[in-house]
Amino acid sequence: MNPTDAEAICRLSATQTAALIRSRELSPVEVTDAVLDRIDAVDGELGAFCTPTPDLARATARRIADDIAAGRDTGPLAGVPLGVKDLISSKGIRTTSGSHAYADFVPDEDDIVVERSVAAGAVVLGKTNATEFGYSATGHNPLFPVTRNPWDLDRTPGGSSAGSAAAVAAGLGPVALGSDGGGSVRVPAALCGIFGFKASMGRVPVYPGCRDERYPGVSGWESVEHIGPLTRTVADAALMLSVLAGPDPRDRHSIPCADVDWTRRRPTGPLRIAYSPDLGRVAVDPEVRRVADEAARVFEKDLGAEVDRIDLQLPDYSAAFGAIVAAETDLTGMRAMADRLGPAMSPHLATLVRTPWTAEQFTDANLVRKAVVNRVARLMSTYDLILTPTTSVAAFPVGVQGPELIDGRMVPTDHWTSFTPLANLTGQPAASLPAGRTRGGLPVGVQLIGRHLADGALLDACAAYEEAAPWRDAWPTAV
């Protein structure tokens, strides 16, 4: 592959891009121009970026090129193009959270993750589309055109980090930032055929975002929210973690972090994996189950892991998760916003914020959460990893919240995302790995959940799977 060819540049990983720029085989300007040209060519139909910033990106690339020429330190992400989810604050760049309430909002400060990425040399391409305040796992909001799946433009990319996933999958930058309060990094990663990673709670600090009380809608998800990368390789996620991880006093959940080289592979040793294809209760499409079963086989037969198919025997946490999210939402502010916006707010969000809640529901939800956390902690004393499908189905048509029928069962329209909130409730690290495709050619992902704070071990297991069942040469054909 000629790395100076524009298409080849757009297919480079972040790790490759950074290495070629450091060696001066590529310039940051060449890389930025190639990616911006591809955005111009395909994003009109894809809808990944809601606020592109080409002038800023080119100016940043030129500055980094000058720094390299002068021999100055430019950081581990020098010249790497980066998309930033529209729920994540970026100083001087419109950040709407997918809502008419913030249609013209321009933050005066960066989120910590943007601050660290830019300091490490990343070139911000713009803001990627997201659902309104992240309260949906699809790709549409009332403010911008719908984001579509690059594998099939009539289907959803998943969400709420819809634009970030679609962009990375389509070659509109090798990495993008997403937020994950219940699976919003992992779900779209699965539907778009890329890698999505959320670290242990507190490993990557968050501020302002859900930690800042000033912004109704944005300030929810306090105890479950994470920010993580969407990438095409595990190595790129490890590279991003090396930039993003570490405590910050602005986030009370952030944790001390030893000086760890997250990009260094560690011997995995024999793994013990608890495989649950349905959590004992979730309706799963047979095509998804087939791919998940094959992933379990790869771990067992190709990687020598001990894989036990288990019934997790967890309480149904779906209602509890909804109550916890509601309890951490500024319902007064959101209800006033719903009254003010009227039909300009997403109907499902307006319904959610107007739902009456009781103190008993919030108390019961916390009891369910404790039961889930304790049950999983006991399980992780025996197993290194939990393996599940990431979602119950592959990508479905745009315009709906989810299928109402899965494997012959009538289900709520959010049922298809039942697997991912588990790791948000427990705070464990979790990833979605591309594991195969349906017979119709749509990507299917599997979820790996690691032990609490064992982020490196989880990344190592993901990297081992990537080597055994490589996916990076599978590119979408719809764009």
pLDDT band for position 193 (cuts 50, 70, 90): very high
pLDDT score recorded for residue 3: 61
CA distance 162 to 148: 8
pLDDT score recorded for residue 1: 44
Q: How many CB atoms sit inside 10 A of residue 350's CB? A: 20
* pLDDT tens, residue by residue, 45-96: 999 999 999 999 999 999 999 999 999 999 999 999 999 999 999 999 999 9
Query: Which of these is catalytic: 90, 136, 160, 254?
Result: 160
pLDDT score recorded for residue 114: 99
208 upstream amide cis, omega within 30 of 0: yes
pTM: 0.97
* pLDDT tens, residue by residue, 244-272: 999 999 999 999 987 788 998 877 779 99
Weakest mean pLDDT among 143-147, 255-259, 279-283, 311-315: 255-259
pLDDT score recorded for residue 216: 85
CA distance 382 to 10: 42
pLDDT score recorded for residue 2: 58
Query: Which of these is catalytic: 89, 117, 184, 418?
Result: 184
* pLDDT tens, residue by residue, 29-44: 999 999 999 999 999 9
pLDDT band for position 215 (cuts 50, 70, 90): confident
And the tokens for 126?
A: 């713009």
Q: DSSP code of 342?
A: G
Give the homologous superfamily in CATH for domain 6-468: Amidase signature (AS) domain (3.90.1300.10)
Residue 126 has pLDDT above 60, yes or no: yes
* pLDDT tens, residue by residue, 329-387: 889 999 999 999 999 999 989 998 999 999 999 999 999 999 999 999 999 999 999 99
Average pLDDT over residues 420-424: 98
Query: Which of these is catalytic: 27, 85, 90, 198?
Result: 85
CA distance 141 to 21: 37
Domain spans of the chain? 6-468
Active site includes 85?
Answer: yes
Average pLDDT over residues 118-128: 99
